Amino acid sequence: MKKVILISILVTLFLPISAQTYFKDFKAGESNFQQKKYVDAIENFTKVIEAKKDHDRAFNLRGLCYFELKDYAKAVADFTQASSIKEKEAEYHFNLGKANIELKDYPNAIAAFDKAIDRDKKMTEAYHLKVKAQMEAKMFMDAVSTGEKILSIDKNATSYYLLGVAQDSSNLFKEAANSFDRAKFYDSKLVGAYIGLGHTNMKLQKFTEALQFIDKALTFDNKNIDALLVRSEINVASNNLQAAIDDISKIIVFE
């Protein structure tokens, strides 16, 4: 009986000390993370996880450390753990999606973003990255559908731009031109919107307007390779071959 009581007392004494220890490790990990000392932070969070295996925040923050160190496979493992422990936390699913994109695992990235959106329907960035993942997976019409949903939540330059890219890739050139036009309305210096307008107008056989948009893009960034490539395409399409050669020559110099 005395032995049982002694063990009970020892366990009772140990628990607060253990909790206090991993709390200190967690705070040290947070501090190291904020100071971008990711290797040290990983060590701190690992100690926390060893003491408390269901510490979702430690898994998430260690995952962010691995992400910053470009160790995306380990980041995926930690974000998976965090999102399993606390399934309702949108941020964990969002982080998992980002890491899967880096691994080019687009189906799992899309699934993770869907879960993030399901838990936070106003998480605009999750929609944005879902569009990018769908584009990489060549799911262009799905990307258009996602892009259209974003606009019901937040109309901004990025949302319209991504929708335009998806529409352009789906050969919906008139619709894409409208989306790029709205993007530059929200951000008049968004280079990508002008490049998009150049490309869509070329596809619509409006070569003069297309060149004007590309020239506008180049006023913001005169070494933009994408703008020069599109301008060379426009010049080829309009039978201005010398101008196209000049554009290609500039690209070679800049690269």
DSSP string, 166-216: HHHHTT-HHHHHHHHHHHHHH-TT-HHHHHHHHHHHHHTT-HHHHHHHHHH
- The average pLDDT across 33-48 equals 98
Instruction: Look at residues 135, 84, 133 and name the one whose alpha carbon lies nearest to residue 113.
Output: 133
Give the residue extent of every domain in the chain: 189-255
pLDDT average, residue stretch 117-124: 96
Confidence of residue 19 (pLDDT cuts 50, 70, 90): low
Question: What's the CA gap between 136 and 68, in Å, rounded?
Answer: 22
Q: What's the CATH fold of domain 189-255?
A: 1.25.40
Residue-level pLDDT at 254: 79
Under the banding of pLDDT at 50, 70 and 90, the label for residue 253 is confident
SS3 content of the chain, % helix, strand, coil (to 5): 80, 0, 20
Is the whole model's pTM more than 0.85, yes or no?
yes
Distance CA 125, CA 146 (A): 12
Average pLDDT over residues 154-163: 97
Please say whether the beta carbons of 116 and 123 come within 8 A.
Answer: yes
Give the whole-angstrom CA distance, residue 96 versus residue 110. Answer: 10
Residue type, 129: L
What does DSSP assign to residue 86? S
